[in-house]
Amino acid sequence: MIDHLRRYMPVLDWGRTYDRKAFSNDMIAAVIVTIMLIPQSLAYALLAGLPPEAGIYASIAPIILYAIFGTSRALAVGPVAVVSLLTASAVGQVAEQGTAGYAVAALTLAFLSGGFLVLMGVFRLGFFANFLSHPVIAGFITASGILIATSQLKHILGISAHGHTLPEMLGSIFAHLNEVNWITLAIGVSATGFLFWVRGNLKPTLRKLGTPPLISDILTKAGPVAAVVATTLSVWLLGLNDRGVKIVGEVPQSLPPLTLPGFTPDLLSALLVPAILISIIGFVESVSVAQTLAAKKRQRIDPDQELIGLGAANLGAAFTGGYPVTGGFARSVVNFDAGAETPAAGAFTAVGLAIAAVALTPLVYFLPNATLAATIIVAVLSLVDLSILQKTWRYSRADFTAVAATIVLTLGLGVEVGVASGVTISVLLHLYKTSRPHVAEVGLVPGTQHFRNILRHKVETDPALVTLRVDESLYFVNARFLEDLVQKRVTNGCGIQNVVLMFSAVNEVDYSALESLEAINHRLKDMGVGLHLSEVKGPVMDRLKRSHFIDDLNGRVFLAQHDAWAALSKQNGQAKAAE
């Protein structure tokens, strides 16, 4: 019973060995992450089109629930830029921003996302995330970063603008340039420049001055807090809000409230597909970060249990005034670098944010929206990696096409279309690659029992014997390709008497591929050419034996390719005769 609970509640596992040292390290990490998350949570709520307190609420209960059900010891869960943008895009289609319906729709989106993730985890469907290729994910995140940064320019300029795509945003911004509030622009540009300087130069400067590493880290992570304090004081002391500078305003001074998502059929159906897309994107991003950090400490995570942990976090957000969450790259790296030993660091962070929600929210009344926009811009521009285009162009034109298409579609048609196209392109790219499997004609490397591609190595061949090494599992997409290739090779060859299909790399043969093998066998039999198999893996052979294919095979099945060469090669037979 206990072992079963540990499977679904990893806290029962790592909690048994929790000690004072781990507590100390987790507390230090929690302090650093909390300092970073206070302005970041407010900013991401703004990006999602929600009141600023929603960002803090979404960072409390979800973190605690992930600490109970998650398997990563360093992953920090909460609002992230891409998911916030996806939330704004999805919810904006069913409700108007600033209304009660908008907030309910965000809760419902978190509920649907959490339920979908938990179901995937229970049924161990984490492998579905593999349908999103990493180049496509990189392209989508890059395009999303550009969209997010562009969407925040209206707050930096102090103008009204709208749009969900890059052309719409830029068109709206240019149309309202005559409304620029120069004081807001000065605040926004100053805050952005300061935050970029903090990110790139403050830590090295402090280290040169002899500041201890831990203090340097804390001060660097507190850079956004310094920007918040400075700009808030400026607005308050100079009365800049009376001169058109838009501010956060009143933020409720309370712990996360108990909330209920909407359960009307129309709302659920409208948000179901966006919830699934958000779940997939969030899970892929979260697991990638978690696996990277776990590998550095020779730990492991369970992707299926991660689904449950993230699902529980989203369900917690749905019932405590939040919106969809996932594991964030920046905060997780900060958490890891700060020395977090266990998920308890996240729970301590949640406590710190709860204290901030109760005691500190009145202090952000005069916080200008331009400062929050600057925080978002600096954070998301680190996600923009246009070098992925150059890298994929050099390595694989197919991957480049997928990345470029994802970026263009996301920027031109919006994030939901970008996500959907990314999934579609990933699947189509996989199908395209596997529909044309690499099949090499191989020969014997002289003096060995190894067989290599005749186009790459100097090998022995026999004009009467053709060996084709199939470097891909065979299924309905590529079955006809192999069928046509064998037919072309045999009809173009002169005096071919035997064909060997080398199955060393074949892990699966589905029924469509079986029918193609049967067709190849019948055609070669009619031509008087033998069909043989070599190096067939056990599971593949077990399945082939369930059909009549092995009984009807116009040849033999060889354990090793060298056995086939020894039995079928005329050159080998002539050598034996000469002896």
* Contact of 74 with 340, CB cutoff 8 Å: yes
Residue 571 pLDDT more than 60? no
Q: Dihedral sign, CA of 549, 554, 559, 562?
A: negative
Which residue from 510, 500, 573 is spatially nearest to 535, judged by alpha carbons?
500
d(CA 399, CA 405): 10
pLDDT (tens digit per residue) in 20-49: 888 888 888 888 888 878 888 988 998 899
Residue 17 pLDDT more than 50? yes
Percent of the chain with pLDDT over 90: 47
What amino acid occupies position 447?
G
Phi, psi of 326 (to 5 degrees): -160, 180
Given this model, what pLDDT does residue 423 score? 75
Residue 576 pLDDT more than 50? no
CA-to-CA separations, 413 to 139, 277, 417, 424, in angstroms, rounded: 14, 16, 6, 15
CA-to-CA separations, 280 to 33, 128, 141, 307, 557, in angstroms, rounded: 25, 8, 13, 10, 44
Given this model, what pLDDT does residue 108 score? 96
Residue 528 pLDDT more than 50? yes
Residue 573 pLDDT more than 60? no
Residue 574 pLDDT more than 50? no
Given this model, what pLDDT does residue 105 score? 96
The whole-model pTM stands at 0.78
Two tokens at 117?
């993730």
d(CA 211, CA 343): 29
Name which residue leads in pLDDT, 475 or 329: 475
Q: What is the mean pLDDT of residues 528-537?
A: 94
The continuous run of DSSP H or E covering 225 comes out as: helix 223-238
pLDDT (tens digit per residue) in 93-149: 899 988 889 999 999 999 999 999 999 999 888 777 666 677 788 888 889 889 989
pLDDT (tens digit per residue) in 50-75: 999 999 999 999 999 999 998 888 88
**Which are the contacts of 310, defined by CB distance < 8 A and separation ≥ 6?**
66, 70, 77, 114, 117, 282, 283, 286, 325, 326, 327
Which residue from 362, 333, 376 is spatially nearest to 227, judged by alpha carbons?
376
Least confidently predicted of 398-402, 536-540, 574-578: 574-578
Residue 187 pLDDT more than 90? yes
Given this model, what pLDDT does residue 493 score? 61
Q: Are strands 451-453 and 465-470 parallel, antiparallel or unpaired?
A: unpaired
Given this model, what pLDDT does residue 7 score? 65
Q: What is the mean pLDDT of residues 519-537?
A: 94
pLDDT (tens digit per residue) in 347-369: 999 999 999 999 888 888 999 99
Model confidence at 579, in pLDDT bands (50, 70, 90)?
Answer: very low
Judged by DSSP in three states, 521 sits in: helix
DSSP-derived letter for residue 436 is S
Model confidence at 250, in pLDDT bands (50, 70, 90)?
Answer: confident
Model confidence at 401, in pLDDT bands (50, 70, 90)?
Answer: confident
Given this model, what pLDDT does residue 427 score? 80
CA-to-CA separations, 217 to 251, 275, 415, in angstroms, rounded: 29, 36, 34
pLDDT (tens digit per residue) in 139-184: 888 898 899 899 899 999 999 888 888 999 999 999 999 989 999 9
d(CA 193, CA 466): 67
What amino acid occupies position 446?
P
Q: Are strands 77-78 and 326-327 parallel, antiparallel or unpaired?
A: antiparallel
Q: In what order do the strands lie in the sheet with 465-470?
A: 451-453, 439-444, 465-470, 498-502, 530-534, 557-558
Tell the burial category of 53 from Cβ atoms under 10 Å away from its Cβ (0-12, 13-18, 19+): buried
CA-to-CA separations, 531 to 154, 201, 441, 485, 501, in angstroms, rounded: 69, 68, 15, 14, 8
Q: Where are the alpha helices (DSSP H) in 222-368?
A: 223-238, 265-296, 303-318, 329-337, 344-359
Mean of all residue pLDDT scores within the chain: 87
Which residue from 422, 577, 418, 441 is spatially nearest to 501, judged by alpha carbons?
441
Percent of the chain with pLDDT over 70: 96
Which residue from 80, 81, 71 is spatially nearest to 145, judged by alpha carbons?
81
d(CA 103, CA 436): 49
Given this model, what pLDDT does residue 3 score? 60
Two tokens at 446?
């002289």
* C-beta atoms surrounding 333 within 10 Å: 15
pLDDT (tens digit per residue) in 194-216: 999 988 888 888 888 888 887 88
d(CA 123, CA 387): 37
Phi, psi of 78 (to 5 degrees): 165, -170
Model confidence at 1, in pLDDT bands (50, 70, 90)?
Answer: low
Phi, psi of 396 (to 5 degrees): -155, 120
* Contact of 329 with 77, CB cutoff 8 Å: no
Given this model, what pLDDT does residue 578 score? 36
